[in-house]
Amino acid sequence: MKQDMIAVLDLGSEENPKIAREIRALGVYSEIHPHDITLAELKALPNVKGIILNGGPNRVVDGVSIDVAKEIYDCDIPALLVDHRGDAPWPADDGERETALKNFIFTICGAEANWNMDNFIADQVELIRNQVGDKKVLLALSGGVDSSVVAALLIKAIGKQLTCVHVNHGLLRKGEPEQVVQVFRDEMDANLVYVDAVDRFLDKLAGVAEPEKKRKIIGGEFIRVFEEEARKLDGIQFLGQGTIYPDIIESGTKTVKAVKSHHNVGGLPEDLDFELVEPLKMLFKDEVRACGKALGLPDSMVYRQPFPGPGLGVRCLGAITRDRLEAVRESDAILREEFAKNGLEGKVWQYFTAIPDLKSVGVRDNRRTEEWCVIIRAVNTVDAMTATVENVPFDLLQHIMTRITSEVKGVNRVLFDLTTKPTGTIEWE
């Protein structure tokens, strides 16, 4: 193992991710573990040079003050108690805090500042090989950042012992399924099962206008398709998952209640009993991107904007029809191309088009038309809870309007959504 580690043990602090990030910022790898970790489990973690007992307002659980096992206090690994309630106060001043942390990590624990992506990848490759042995791993590869980075890491670690399943449900953006095949099958030589499930999804969705019903159908059908593929493959014992650290935080810890339950690939039947391989579960999003870059994934995959699981399904408003689905896919591709050309890619947090189930009167080549309209949405946010609207230059909007109305079949109008969140949400359904 190449990296030293400082283990943060959660004694009810709300600042576990913050302190882990501060330690990583000093160049030392850090992981957060629950307070009831045993000494044997702690010792089994690679290269633990020190422990931070991170106490805080949630230290009292069900009337009892939680603590780590006595044997952990007594062991030979240096420990620092931080208590955000004031028993062992942690300096509020950032400079003092950094000095205290540096003193503990480097002077007392003797840790080395050897946390970087190359070392992280080397360590994870070793850990994955140890976990998996000569067995096989299955991964649902959507082409999103997290699943792509996990795929690249697993390919590096175990090559053809990994089978990736890419389900094309017909609701992906233009060029995405092709990019998944090109990057993973052609360039990385992965075992990739490409499932064309477009008709299957669109048939199930036909006539369904209610957004939550659409989401349920898409999620449920995805699991069924994936399950069918899993059953075709023999001897799979592990399931790779692109769980990242914020997913774990949102699902709650032993001391902090869940924000929301999180399922990356939830709901597989119980007889498909896989052990999980989750090599990114201790990384924050920016670190996942850095990992993907270090593994050679293209920027267009690593830095892509967030995209909802149900994909274009929730941007083709109301009951999905193939003509409107194509119109939203094509107009979205034009919007993305123009934003990239004009320096807005990477600046605007999320931008896309949506197509309502609405036709309006227009005129084309001196003839009256009755065609669809397309809505442009471009928003900025920190946490997706609130959002502001990007001030897109008017001449660029007009240029995009001209392109969409001339290049996208069946569209005669383009609208720009001025609404902040609240009162609007980012998506339209």
The residues of the shown chain that bind ligand XMP, judged by CB under 6 A, are 215, 306, 308-310, 350, 384, 421, 425-427
Which CB, 399 or 421, lies closer to ligand XMP?
Answer: 421
Which CB, 350 or 353, lies closer to ligand XMP?
Answer: 350
Which CB, 60 or 384, lies closer to ligand XMP?
Answer: 384
Q: How far apart are CA 80 and CA 101, in angstroms?
A: 9
Write out the two tokens for 73.
Answer: 């206090």
Which CB, 166 or 304, lies closer to ligand XMP?
Answer: 304
Closest contact distance (angstroms) between CB of 346 and ligand XMP is 16
Count Cβ atoms below 10 Å from residue 117 Cβ, excluding itself: 15
Closest contact distance (angstroms) between CB of 167 and ligand XMP is 15
Closest CA relative to residue 272, chosen from 319, 220, 232? 232
Which CB, 237 or 305, lies closer to ligand XMP?
Answer: 305
Closest contact distance (angstroms) between CB of 417 and ligand XMP is 12
Q: How far apart are CA 194 and CA 229, in angstroms?
A: 10
Length of the chain counted residue by residue: 429
Closest contact distance (angstroms) between CB of 313 and ligand XMP is 9
Q: Is residue 125 helix, strand or coil?
A: helix
Sheet holding 162-168, edge to edge: 191-196, 162-168, 136-140, 236-240, 275-277
Q: How far apart are CA 139 and CA 238, in angstroms?
A: 9
- Matching residue, tokens 């605007």: 348
Which CB, 57 or 424, lies closer to ligand XMP?
Answer: 424
Closest contact distance (angstroms) between CB of 429 and ligand XMP is 8
Work out the end-to-end distance of the chain between its first and last CA atoms, rounded to an integer number of angstroms: 47
389 Cβ contact partners less than 8 Å away, ≥ 6 residues apart:
378, 379, 380, 417, 418, 419, 420
Closest contact distance (angstroms) between CB of 426 and ligand XMP is 3
